[in-house]
Each structure stands twice: as structure tokens, then as C-alpha cells.
């Protein structure tokens, strides 16, 4: 168990105020995001059929929660890890036009998470996906989209301040873009997490580009499945990857704090390349991958934005369990209670 107790922590808002504030944050940000990126809300599944390639396998090691379906000959279903691939299929099935997209409230269960202040068994996020053209599959368009999302975050932060003046805005005016290779060059002796913390402290808010492929030192900055984000396409500066994470500086923990993972999605060429690189070419015959390789799915950009994470940051909470209801180890619950961290 890795629990951080901020020194002299006391929640700015009590439980009732927190519940109200969570709704304010979620309602306002959701509408801002939809307006900024021109997204339509759709209903999403909690589980999908096993063996279709639709579920997100995250880093490739996490086990999905599964169960047999009595009325379907005991076929097995899996509770989603995220909807990274499902959303792209919906763009095609809903016939979403170029420049528009969709979003949904995604609820997932990740039993292999290491529980701490920011990781829970229960994951809630806004999953979104938008149709792009071939000409928009580049770093400039990725940055343009990131700035739109960051603008929605900034407006939400101000709405929180309007309702709760004791919570002062801390996000910088602009988000800074930095590639994982640049971080490696600047801090070669640090871990990827430590590199992000250094950059987040310096700039306040960063977008870390290029996550999933191996860096110059032969290691990955972080894992990313090979079949949704494009982390292998070279950019104009010679680096690879048109994906990344929105990371902010969290003064409570004095560390980097990830709010969103996103990227331009694989096309046929980058999918085949990344499947080969990761030794996962057997996936080509799965339902999702076959549809993509057969040209049935549009080119897209998409990502996920943590709902509880966003609330945690804007409401200055020390534990994600203060913004969502989940299950925690007894010792963690006791330690939190002793230190004024009231888990839901």
C-alpha cells in the first residue's frame, strides 16, 4: 500500500459540499468538452464479449473482470478497461461526419490497479472520439486538440472558484508541450515518472508526447497498447508518436498528476507496424482489428479524461476516494480516517 498523507491536510469542502461540487465540475466540464470538440453524447457498454479485440488491454498485463452469459451458451463477457476501440467503431456505426465526434460516461473495473491516493479499482472517465482527415493526422492537429481540452479545464477551474472562492485557480494560462525523448535528454538519470514531475513543476501543465514506443535508451516512457494510439509515426522533429498525456503539477503531492491520456489513432500502416513491434500480429484476425484493416473505420483522434481525477484536482482532495465510492484496504481506510481524509 502506497498512501501519501499531505502534511496538516484538511479538506476545503465538507462531505455535503463535496457532493455538490462534484456535480458542478462534472456537468460544466462535460458540456465544455462537448462544445469545444463538437462531440455528441452516446450510451456506452459496461462489458463486451471476450475475444473480439474490443476491450482495451491497457499495458497488456491487466486482467479484465469476466463472467459467463447463461443465455448465450456460456460465452464470456469482460467488463471494460476503457472504450478506446469501441468508440472508433461507433464513429462508423453512427455515421459521424468529419470534424465531429462522440463522448460517453465510461465506467470500468480494473482489479489489478495498485491502490493508492490516485488509483482505484473503479475507473470513471469521459471517453471521447472524433473523426479526422488524413491531413489532420499530425502533431499540429494533436496540439490544437489538446489546447481545446485544456481550455475546457481552465474554464471549469474558474467555475469552481466562482462557487468556492477559497479554492484559488492554479493552472497556468498555457499548456507546455514536451516530448518523452526531450525529457530523457534533460533528465537521463531519472525515472519517467520523476521526469514528468520535474517538467510539471517547472511549467504547471504539460502535454507529454510520444508514449508507447521505445526511447533512445531502449526503454519505454510508459506502456500503451499497440492497437489504438499511434506512437510509431515519426514527427517533423525526428521523434515518434502523435499521442500523449495531459499532466499537471499537484502542489498537494508535490508531483506530476495525470488527468488525460489521448492521441491520434492508428491507421492501417501504423497498426500493422505496432502489432509487429509488440509481437501481437495474431490480433489482426479479431473483430475490431479486421474492421480497421478492411477500411471500415474512420481515421480518428480520441482519449479519456478521468472524472474522479479531475474532481480530485479541482476540489483539492488528497485521495481519489474522496470523489468516488470504491473499495479500499482496511489499513488505508483507517489511516485516512485518522488524518482527516474522509473516503466515500
Which sequence positions are flagged as catalytic?
56, 110, 125, 245, 258, 261
Q: How far, rounded to the nearest angstrom, does the alpha carbon of residue 298 sit from its chain's CA centroid?
A: 21
Enter the C-alpha cell of residue 58.
491497457
Report the alpha-carbon distance of residue 152 to residue 268 in Å, rounded. 32
Compute how many other C-beta atoms are within 10 angstroms of the C-beta atom of residue 144: 12
Report the alpha-carbon distance of residue 13 to residue 25 in Å, rounded. 14
Q: Would the CA dihedral through 126, 106, 108, 337 be positive or negative?
A: positive
> 3 and 94 in contact (C-beta within 8 Å)?
no
Question: Please, what's the largest Cα pairwise distance for the chain?
Answer: 58
- Looking at the DSSP assignment, which residues form a beta bridge with residue 177? 207
> 17 and 11 in contact (C-beta within 8 Å)?
no
Backbone angles phi, psi at 169, to 5 degrees: -60, 140
CA atoms within 13 A on the CB side of 297: 24
Amino acid at each position: 500500500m502506497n498512501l501519501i498523507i499531505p502534511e496538516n491536510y484538511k479538506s476545503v469542502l465538507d462531505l455535503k459540499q463535496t457532493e455538490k461540487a462534484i456535480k458542478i465540475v462534472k456537468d460544466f466540464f462535460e458540456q465544455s468538452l462537448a462544445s469545444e470538440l463538437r462531440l455528441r453524447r452516446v450510451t456506452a457498454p459496461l462489458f463486451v464479449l471476450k475475444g473480439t479485440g474490443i476491450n482495451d488491454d491497457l499495458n497488456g498485463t491487466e486482467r479484465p473482470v469476466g463472467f459467463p452469459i447463461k443465455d448465450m451458451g456460456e460465452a464470456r463477457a469482460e467488463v471494460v478497461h476503457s472504450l478506446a476501440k469501441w468508440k472508433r467503431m461507433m464513429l462508423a456505426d453512427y455515421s459521424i461526419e468529419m470534424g465531429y465526434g462522440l463522448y460517453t460516461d465510461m465506467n470500468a473495473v480494473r482489479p489489478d490497479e495498485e491502490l493508492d491516493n490516485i488509483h482505484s479499482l473503479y475507473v470513471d472517465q469521459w471517453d471521447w472520439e472524433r473523426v479526422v482527415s488524413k491531413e489532420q493526422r499530425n502533431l499540429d492537429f494533436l496540439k490544437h486538440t489538446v489546447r481545446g481540452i485544456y481550455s475546457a479545464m481552465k474554464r471549469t477551474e474558474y467555475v469552481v472558484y466562482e462557487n468556492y472562492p477559497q479554492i484559488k485557480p492554479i493552472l497556468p494560462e498555457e499548456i507546455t508541450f514536451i516530448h518523452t525523448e526531450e525529457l530523457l535528454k534533460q533528465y537521463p538519470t531519472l525515472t519517467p515518472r520523476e521526469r514528468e514531475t520535474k517538467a510539471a513543476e517547472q511549467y504547471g501543465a504539460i502535454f507529454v508526447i510520444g508514449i508507447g514506443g521505445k526511447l533512445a535508451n531502449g526503454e519505454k516512457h510508459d506502456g500503451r497498447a499497440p492497437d489504438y494510439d499511434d506512437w510509431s509515426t515519426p514527427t517533423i522533429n525526428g521523434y515518434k508518436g502523435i499521442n500523449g498525456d495531459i499532466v499537471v503539477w499537484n502542489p498537494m503531492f508535490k508531483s506530476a498528476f495525470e488527468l488525460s491520456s489521448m492521441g491520434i489513432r492508428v491507421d492501417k500502416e501504423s497498426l500493422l507496424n505496432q502489432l509487429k513491434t509488440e509481437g501481437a500480429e495474431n490480433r489482426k484476425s479479431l473483430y475490431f482489428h479486421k474492421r480497421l484493416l478492411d477500411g471500415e473505420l474512420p481515421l480518428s483522434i480520441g482519449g479519456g479524461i478521468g472524472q474522479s481525477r479531475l474532481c480530485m484536482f479541482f476540489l483539492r482532495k488528497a485521495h481519489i476516494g474522496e470523489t468516488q465510492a470504491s473499495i479500499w484496504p482496511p489499513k488505508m481506510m483507517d489511516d485516512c480516517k485518522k488524518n482527516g481524509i474522509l473516503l466515500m
